[in-house]
Structure 1
Amino acid sequence: MNEAEGLRQRRPLRPQVITEDSPAQEAKEGSTYSSKVFRVTFLTLAATLTVPLLGATVLLDCPIDPQPISLKEPPLLTGVLEPNSKLQKAERLWENQLVGPESIVNIGDALFTGTADGKVLKIEDGVIQTIARIGHGPCGTREDEPTCGRPLGIRVGPNNTLFVADAYYGLYEVNPGTGETKMLVSTKTPVEGQKLSFVNDLTVTRDGRKIYFTDSSSKWQRRDYLFLLMEGTDDGRLLEYDTITKEVKVLMVGLRFPNGVQLSPAEDFVLVQETTMARIRRYYVSGLMKGGADMFVENMPGLPDNIRLSSSGGYWVAMAAVRPNPGFSMFDFLSEKPWIKRMIFKEAHISKLPSSLISEEKGGFSALVMQQYRICIWIYEDFTFIPEVSRLLIAWCLKSIWEISSVLMIVLGILEDSMCYIRC
């Protein structure tokens, strides 16, 4: 063995590097640790809150049993449906003097309407007078409404008598001169085994013999109209009352929120607004088609409320809510999703539900539905709920008057121009 081979081989020494943690690195590690703690804490709190909430949602009773409703895509708001602001020219009359006027009629220069405080009012020469009251006080709250009464539809009979549909009490005849009231149909008396819970609107033949009226639901009352609308209940009916025989007949069943009604000029059919379905049904009361029914207009650009004859031969229709297109319609979105509606109504009390469930825009419609099924629409941005539009020619005004009654706002207006500029 030579000397070189006898030497032990030594590994090369690697330099030993001694480092200290820099402040930046310590801060980074501390930040990472804090983030982990925050995430764990947040997730723990979220789970703590969410799990009981979901459990409560499952266990809580839902006040409605929503049905899936299939609606077509709303029509585009173009052409005759294009939004405009013509009704912003209207002057508000008797603002803060009327409480939710609904239907309005005239006898000469005098106007008559029913209001949310249970009164039937006469308005003449600017003077407001209470001529009748079907219910009794107190009024003003949701709990009071069934005893207070809620006059909705109102019509003039052949002898200038008033026929009034009260949501809670039934059909009444009112003498506009003396204020005397006479019950015709009571909600306490079931009709063909089904109670009247939400008497809504009526239309009367020219001879005053037949009164056609809607009962929007046998389950829900007027104060629960949002429940009725969102549940999609199909227990509404169209009925006929004979003022001679005193008989009440059921003409149509299975309607989803039947609302306004209107006889045709020839009195051969009755139009029925089906609010939940955004359509108008037709029921034949005379002629070869008597007893039959068909669709008059469907897939309307809003939810139809009341309907009245137009002097041009068509029909004026008031819309309670818009189905915007283009745009997002909350009502259409929820229609086929009953599980979402259940969650909403489990979590929120009826009085606290957002108005966006019904009206996505602060606006409504006034629609002229012609016999040829063409539609002229007005969208007005200044009113949210507009139950009715009627046309009157009043001598002292020397122009057309529209009475637009809102559930929420005063709604009588005199337009600057005559309404003849509305054309399809």
Structure 2
Amino acid sequence: MTEADGLRQRRPLRPQVVTDDNRTPEAKGGSSFSGRVFRATFLMLAAFLTIPLLGALVLLDSPIDPEPLSFKEPPLFLGVLQPNTELQQAERLFENQLVGPESIANIGDVMFTGTADGRVVKLENGEVETIARFGSGPCKTRDDEPACGRPLGIRAGPNGTLFVVDAYKGLFEVNPWKREVKLLLSSETPIEGRKMSFLNDLTVTRDGRKIYFTDSSSKWQRRDYLLLLMEGTDDGRLLEYDTQTKEVKVLLDHLRFPNGVQLSPAEDFVLVVELAMVRIRRFYVSGLMKGGADVFVENLPGFPDNIRASSSGGYWVSMAAIRANPGFSMLDFLSERPFLKKVIFKLFSQETVMKFVPRYSLVLELSDSGTFLRSLHDPEGQRVRSVFPCVVRAVLLGSCLHLLGASAMASHTDSVHMTPLFCFQPARGEQSV
């Protein structure tokens, strides 16, 4: 053997790189088997989850039967609607003393409101005093509401009394000084063959003769307000009650979730918020147009809730939820997709759906002709929360705009929490309120 042959024999072996091509048949087979097991397991889990879901979609009934509704593109949040933080400057009043306050009325310097635990209370000198109750307790959950009662709209009459509408009980007159309660119209009384299931708000003429009030639905109760909104039921009405003759008339029918109502300063027409249609309707009660109706303002930047007069001759309107533009409005998106709404409420409760509604508080000031004058915002929805329907309420008291925060009861949880009353002083002074 030569020296060259010896060197060749002692040359170190080169390292070998193992690739898929170098694997043994056994290794390839093992990997393929593991992949098949993984895919089979994944498909089984997917089927395990999907089959019950499909079964639920087929077998479960949806609580709503919605119709498609079409809205215009929401107005841009620019100019008058430019977002701000004005509402975050509101001062808290009666903190930890009120449970879901709704509307506000005042007689002199004394304020009155209805609460989520079924009471009508007097607010004076920092104290909260119960003056009336239309139902009976307990009043802790949404299931308690029909028996407990839920005072909503409240107005001061000409003789030092209050007119109050309870969502479940009817229309009442209350003497807050003597604590006397008089039932004017029971919710059990059918009007033109239909019951009143969701009395909401009212407005009263200066002489106390006529009371205009809304019945949001003959099908849905207040505790199911979200189902009413999502279904868009057109069974709401604007009604008139004559305190002398005791007669009741239907002024407007086929409204989709009528809510807040307000007489004009001249008392020649009544404005009624049509929440599910993001607009405000007008019905003429006197003058040449008596008996006629039209749209006062449409395509609002949110779903309107309550409406109250301003001292400048215009109106304050609070929004239950906004229609952000730029941005995304879930309610606008769903309005044209009734099938999707049915599926959602087959699978989820009202409480769950409400968690996806963004917190954003918005109050809009309108002129006497319906023009947007200005807007007050809380983009974080923390100072004054926006939970439907006990949203920000606006009512004039002197030069202070009073706002009501929302309670947990309003969002239909199983507990009741205290809710502060807010006092907001508009920067432009009392003449603009």
Give the alignment's TM-score, normalised by structure 2: 0.87
Aligned residue for 2:414?
Answer: none
Question: Residue type matched to 1:102 in 2?
Answer: E
Structure 2 counterpart of 1:380, from 378, 381, 397: 378
Counterpart contact for 1:92–1:410, Cα < 8 Å: no
Aligned residue for 2:271?
Answer: 271
1:182 aligns to 2:187 (yes or no):
no
Question: Residue type matched to 2:38 in 1?
Answer: F
**Whole-Å separation in 1 of the counterparts to 2:362 and 2:259:** 16
1:63 aligns to 2:63 (yes or no):
yes
Any idea what SS the aligned residue of 2:429 has? helix
**Whole-Å separation in 2 of the counterparts to 1:24 and 1:302:** 68
1:126 aligns to 2:132 (yes or no):
no
Distance 1:345 1:20, change over 3 A: closer
Aligned-pair distance for 1:24?
A: 9.2
Aligned-pair distance for 1:353?
A: 2.9
Aligned-pair distance for 1:369?
A: 1.0
**Whole-Å separation in 2 of the counterparts to 1:27 and 1:191:** 82
**Whole-Å separation in 1 of the counterparts to 2:85 and 2:286:** 40
Q: Give per-residue Cα distances to partners, 1:182-223, cap 9 Å, x unaligned.
A: 001101110000000000000000000000000000000000
Distance 1:85 1:230, change over 3 A: same
Distance 1:107 1:60, change over 3 A: same
Aligned residue for 2:395?
Answer: 390
Counterpart contact for 1:400–1:418, Cα < 8 Å: no
Counterpart contact for 1:387–1:407, Cα < 8 Å: no
Any idea what SS the aligned residue of 1:353 has? helix
Distance 1:28 1:195, change over 3 A: same
* Greater displacement, 296-305 / 346-355: 346-355
Aligned-pair distance for 1:65?
A: 0.8
Counterpart contact for 1:101–1:115, Cα < 8 Å: yes
Any idea what SS the aligned residue of 1:45 has? helix
Q: Give per-residue Cα distances to partners, 1:24-64, cap 9 Å, x unaligned.
A: 99766644443333223212321233123212211111111
**Whole-Å separation in 1 of the counterparts to 2:214 and 2:201:** 6
**Whole-Å separation in 2 of the counterparts to 1:242 and 1:417:** 36
**Whole-Å separation in 1 of the counterparts to 2:28 and 2:294:** 74
**Whole-Å separation in 2 of the counterparts to 1:236 and 1:329:** 24
Aligned CA RMSD, in angstroms, stands at 2.2
Aligned residue for 1:362?
Answer: 359
Distance 1:371 1:354, change over 3 A: closer
**Whole-Å separation in 2 of the counterparts to 1:43 and 1:285:** 66
1:406 aligns to 2:406 (yes or no):
yes
1:15-414 mapped onto 2 (5 Å cutoff):
22-23=22-23, 30-356=30-356, 359=357, 361-375=358-372, 376-381=374-379, 382=382, 383-385=385-387, 386-393=391-398, 400-408=400-408, 410-414=419-423
Q: Any gaps of 5 or more consecutive residues in structure 1?
A: 1-18, 394-398
**Whole-Å separation in 1 of the counterparts to 2:223 and 2:109:** 32
**Whole-Å separation in 2 of the counterparts to 1:67 and 1:165:** 29
Distance 1:311 1:417, change over 3 A: closer
Question: Residue type matched to 1:287 in 2?
Answer: G
Question: Residue type matched to 1:195 in 2?
Answer: K
Counterpart contact for 2:215–2:258, Cα < 8 Å: yes
Counterpart contact for 2:75–2:300, Cα < 8 Å: yes
**Whole-Å separation in 2 of the counterparts to 1:115 and 1:46:** 48
**Whole-Å separation in 2 of the counterparts to 1:339 and 1:63:** 12
Aligned-pair distance for 1:423?
A: 6.9
Question: Residue type matched to 1:373 in 2?
Answer: G
- Which structure's CA Rg is the greater one? 1
Q: Any gaps of 5 or more consecutive residues in structure 2?
A: 1-18, 409-417
Any idea what SS the aligned residue of 2:142 has? coil
**Whole-Å separation in 1 of the counterparts to 2:52 and 2:405:** 45
Counterpart contact for 2:307–2:318, Cα < 8 Å: yes
Counterpart contact for 2:216–2:258, Cα < 8 Å: yes
Any idea what SS the aligned residue of 2:143 has? coil
Counterpart contact for 2:334–2:340, Cα < 8 Å: yes
Counterpart contact for 1:317–1:368, Cα < 8 Å: yes
Any idea what SS the aligned residue of 1:295 has? strand
**Whole-Å separation in 2 of the counterparts to 1:206 and 1:75:** 35
**Whole-Å separation in 1 of the counterparts to 2:331 and 2:124:** 40
* Greater displacement, 54-63 / 26-35: 26-35
Would you say how many aligned residue pairs link Structure 1 and Structure 2? 398
**Whole-Å separation in 2 of the counterparts to 1:25 and 1:79:** 73
Distance 1:293 1:353, change over 3 A: same
Question: Residue type matched to 2:324 in 1?
Answer: P
Question: Residue type matched to 1:390 in 2?
Answer: V
Counterpart contact for 1:216–1:257, Cα < 8 Å: yes
* Greater displacement, 72-81 / 365-374: 365-374
Any idea what SS the aligned residue of 1:105 has? strand
Aligned-pair distance for 1:110?
A: 0.9
Question: Residue type matched to 2:260 in 1?
Answer: G
